Structure formats: C-alpha cells, structure tokens
Amino acid sequence: MRHARRSLRRLMRFAAAGGVVCGSLMVTHAVANEPPGAAPGQVTYAAGPVGGGPAPAVTEVVRRLGDARTAGSWAGADGRPVVAVTDAGAAAEARRAGATVKRVRHSMDTLRAATESLGAEPRVPGTAWAVDYAANQVVVRADTTVSADDWSRLSGVAERTGGVVRMERTTGAFTTRVNAAAPIFASGGRCSAGFNVTDGRDVYVLTAGHCGPAGTAWFQNSDGSRLLGTTVTADFPGSDFALVRYERGAPLGGADVVAIGGGRGVRITGAADPVVGQRVFRSGSTTGLRDGRVTALNATVNYPEGTVTGLTETTVCAERGDSGGPLFAQGLALGLTSGGNGDCARGGVTYFQPAVKTMRALGVRPVALPGSQEGGTGEQGGGSPAAPSSNPPASPPAGTPVTTAPSPEAPAVPGAQGAPPGGPAGAAGSGPGTVSGIADGFGPLGGVAPGLAVIAVSVVLFLISRWLRNSQGRRDYRDLYSQTWA
C-alpha cells in the first residue's frame, strides 16, 4: 500500500513537471504568433490570398507549372496547401515545394474551356457554375425555377465535355439578398452595409450593386429622415458592387469595425483574396454572424436580373436583407454578400463579390482611423471544418481583434454594420477594450490564457503531491515513536 502511494506521488510530480513545460511552450507559442503591430493609421492591402493559402514556394511552383499541368490549389483539412496536378513530374515539383499533391485527369485549361462553353450557351436564370478543385470538375447547379427543357439542354452541354461538367439540382432559388430588415434603406429595397473604404479624399460604404443603381439615396432609418449618402458608382449585373458616399463626410468612431452582434466587432485592417477550403465569416443585418467554408472561386451565377461572374462560392448561409454585408477572416475584407439559395435554417450556397477585385476597380482601400493600430495581413489557421451554414451564429474568428461596444456618446457608424436591427449590437466602435482573438473571454490575457491555465493546474498537482508526502511523513513519525509512548 505504501509503495502504491509512493508511486502515485511520483506520477503526480512527473505530471506537474510535464504540465509546467507544456504550459510554458504554449505561452511562448501564443506570444510568438501575435501579429506584429504597425504604425498608427497603416492599412494592409493584401494582393494575395490569406488564411490557409499556399506558401510562397507553392504559389510559385503552381505559376511555373501553368494551367496545362495544374488544376487549382486549396487548403486541406489539416491546413496544408493541396495542389492538383496532371502528371508525375508536376507532382514531384509540388511536393518539393511543400504541398500535398492530388493527381487529376483534367487540367485547369480544360476546366476553364468547359466554363467558357457554358457561358456561350443562352443564359438560363436560376443556374450557377464554378470549378470544384477537389472533384476536378465544373459543377453546374440548377434551382427549382429551371425548366425541364433548359435542364436537358445544359445536360447535353455537360455530356459533350466528356465528364468535365457535373449537373446538380438544388432546392430553393438563386436570388439576390435584398428586401428585408437592414440598417441602410432606400426606396428600392433594404440592404446591409459592407466595408467603409476611402480613396484618400472621401469615405464611402461598399455594398452590393443590385441594391440600387447610381444616384440611389440611402438612409439610416426606415422613415427616410436620416440621410446616409448617395450611390456614386454601381455595377450590376456583370459584377455586384456599389459605392455609397457619405453625405456629411467621414464617419466618426468605429469606421474600421464590422459589427458581429453582442456589442462586439471585428476591426478590418486590409483586404485579401479568399482561398478554397478557408474558414470565413459573414455578418448581415438579418441573420447576424455566420461562418462556413470557401468552396469555389470565379463562380458564375445567372440571377433573374442578369449574370454575375467572378464570384466566391461558400457554404455560409444568408437571407434577404444580408445583401452587401461583409465577408471577412482574420480582420481582412474578403467580399460582399451577393446572393444564393436556401436560408439559415436549411443551409444553402451563398456567393460573394470579391473585395480585392472591387476595391481595385474603384480605386479605394479599407478605411483606417488615425491613432488606431492596424496589423498585418493576418493568418487563418486550418482548424477543424466549419459547422454547416445552418448552424446558429458563429463565434468570432480566432485571431481577429474584437472590440467592445462603443460608449453611449460615440455615434453609430452606418458602414460595416452586421447585427440584426434592434439587436444588442447596433454599431460597433473602436477604442479601448480591444482584446486579441477568440479567447476574448479570458480578458486581456488573450491567447496565452490556455497555457497559463495548464501551468496553474500543474502547480496545484505539485502542491498536492507535496502535501501527500508531508502527510505520509507525519504518519511515519507517529508510528515510529508511538512504540515508546507510555
């Protein structure tokens, strides 16, 4: 029995020592991975992908191999880049660059030719297509409004490609997400504000182009008594973006923050292109914060109003009124909500206008407030697969700055809104109270809190083992000397 107790004490001491070492490593790793700060007011405009995207060496080898020998790249379940290649030589080069390799039959040239064949056909509203990199096919989706004759004609196109195109029927209908409760109002509908941007002179709100043409007046309330601004540029169909200029100049506090509900917001520090397989987040005035995965790039959607190309396809859900709302990850603007099918109860596919492409076309960049600390391009971990888009509102993305709600005297910012109207969030502002990452529940300790917790538990185990040892020593002393007691 005494040997068993001694073994237990020894095991607890080993566990405590191991816990201290592990906890110290966790703290060191968390501190080492904090994104570097930048000068106040600096904004990163990322030209390349972010968030689980290929390493520079992988990107370079894909570029060198070309579209004739590759067929896309994406983030795998383990977060590592995956490159689709068509021959053994290309596979060897991609492996040397650090990528996981998948041998496929069709090159990107072949896949692109198939999408061009689909685009050359007469337009069919209610259809959409995009390249599925993992399946090495072009997937054509047809909603419930597509007739049997149109379905048959498109199926014939698919058969002529020799298995490159796959046809799928979907539930619901592909529609733009306008006409519901939203924080910006116009006579033609209601939408969500996206990102606040600037051209160096004026400050604007980015939103969806289908929400209203150039000249549309936008209001902060439904009765039209508080003018927000006027659309100065809109592109729809073809693309799906609009630029709304503030009526009274630059907004005040919180212009660089996307509200995500619960009095919190995510500070936007730049813009980037999304990556297939990346976990992303969307905030909208109807459904709040939702998350999902990027499933395809450069998608084409045939809405009833017209065709939009170059969209990002995702599993994030959206509903009417979420149009124009922001898509983001790790504090970087990725896109604007365009449309899709389904809803947040059943799930569905949602398409987004890419942010980088839009900002370049308009000559604008994400707004940065003087005195605010802006970070780098950010980094999206691989993590576990995101929940289906029909899940309840998601937690904020790991690693993104989260701010508390603004003080009562700070005016609300119409741009970058996301919380449902009448909800607790209103508009989020910037300022004190910023914490780092999803670990905001730990307070200012942020990402180092898990490591500190491991160290604390280890210390407790060590103290318990010492107490057991001292207690056993007292019992041994008593047993030894009790024999001499009268």
Q: How far is CA 300 from CA 251, 353, 417, in A?
A: 35, 11, 27
Which residues lie closer than 8 Å to 169 by C-beta, 6 or more apart? Answer: 141, 142, 143, 144, 151
pLDDT value for 473: 58
Which residues lie closer than 8 Å to 121 by C-beta, 6 or more apart? Answer: 153, 154, 157
Q: Are 325 and 192 in contact (CB under 8 A)?
A: yes
The residues annotated as belonging to the active site are 210, 240, 323
Question: Is residue 449 very low, low, confident or very high in pLDDT (cuts 50, 70, 90)?
Answer: low
pLDDT value for 164: 95
pLDDT value for 410: 31
Helix H segments across 33-81?
Answer: 56-65
Q: Are 396 and 264 in contact (CB under 8 A)?
A: yes
Output the pTM of the full model. 0.69
pLDDT value for 391: 42
In this structure, the number of other CB atoms found within 10 A of the CB of residue 12 comes to 19
CA–CA separation, 427 and 101 (whole Å): 45
* pLDDT above 80: residue 82: yes
Structural class in CATH, domain 175-436:
mainly beta
Cis peptide leading into residue 432 (ω within 30°): no
Q: Which residue has the tokens 């940065």?
A: 368
Residue 365 sits at the vertex; the CA angle it makes with 256 and 286, to the nearest 5 degrees, is 50
In this structure, the number of other CB atoms found within 10 A of the CB of residue 473 comes to 10
- Tens of pLDDT, residues 111-123: 999 999 999 999 9
* pLDDT above 60: residue 442: no
Mean pLDDT value across residues 263-290 = 91
Query: Which residues on adjacent β-strands are paired with residue 258?
Result: 266
Percent of the chain with pLDDT over 90: 44
42 against 397, higher pLDDT: 397
Q: How far is CA 410 from the centre of its chain?
A: 28
Q: How far is CA 429 from the centre of its chain?
A: 20
472 against 181, higher pLDDT: 472
CA–CA separation, 195 and 325 (whole Å): 8
Both structure tokens of 298 = 């450069």
Least confident piece of the model among 190-199, 252-261, 325-334, 398-407: 398-407
DSSP 258: E
Least confident piece of the model among 38-47, 95-104, 105-114: 38-47
Q: Which residue has the tokens 């390493």?
A: 55
- Tens of pLDDT, residues 5-56: 566 666 666 666 776 666 666 545 444 333 333 333 333 444 444 444 567 8
Q: Are 210 and 179 in contact (CB under 8 A)?
A: no
pLDDT value for 471: 65
Q: Is 149 helix (H, G, I), strand (E, B) or coil?
A: helix
Question: Is residue 418 very low, low, confident or very high in pLDDT (cuts 50, 70, 90)?
Answer: very low
* DSSP string of 213-256, one letter each residue: -TT-EEESSTTS-SEEEEEEEEE-SBS-EEEEEETTSS--TTTT
CA–CA separation, 240 and 303 (whole Å): 11
Question: Is residue 454 very low, low, confident or very high in pLDDT (cuts 50, 70, 90)?
Answer: low
CA–CA separation, 98 and 204 (whole Å): 41
325 against 426, higher pLDDT: 325
270-273 and 332-340 strand pairing: parallel
pLDDT value for 19: 65
In this structure, the number of other CB atoms found within 10 A of the CB of residue 367 comes to 22
479 against 123, higher pLDDT: 123
CA–CA separation, 412 and 98 (whole Å): 47
452 against 288, higher pLDDT: 288
Question: Is residue 103 very low, low, confident or very high in pLDDT (cuts 50, 70, 90)?
Answer: very high
pLDDT value for 151: 94
CA–CA separation, 298 and 313 (whole Å): 8
- Tens of pLDDT, residues 317-342: 999 888 899 999 999 999 999 999 98
- Tens of pLDDT, residues 177-229: 543 323 577 766 678 889 999 998 888 999 999 988 999 998 888 777 788 89
CA–CA separation, 174 and 269 (whole Å): 32
Residue 67 sits at the vertex; the CA angle it makes with 56 and 80, to the nearest 5 degrees, is 35
* pLDDT above 90: residue 277: yes
Q: How much is the mean pLDDT over the chain? A: 75
CA–CA separation, 167 and 129 (whole Å): 9
Least confident piece of the model among 48-52, 302-306, 378-382: 378-382
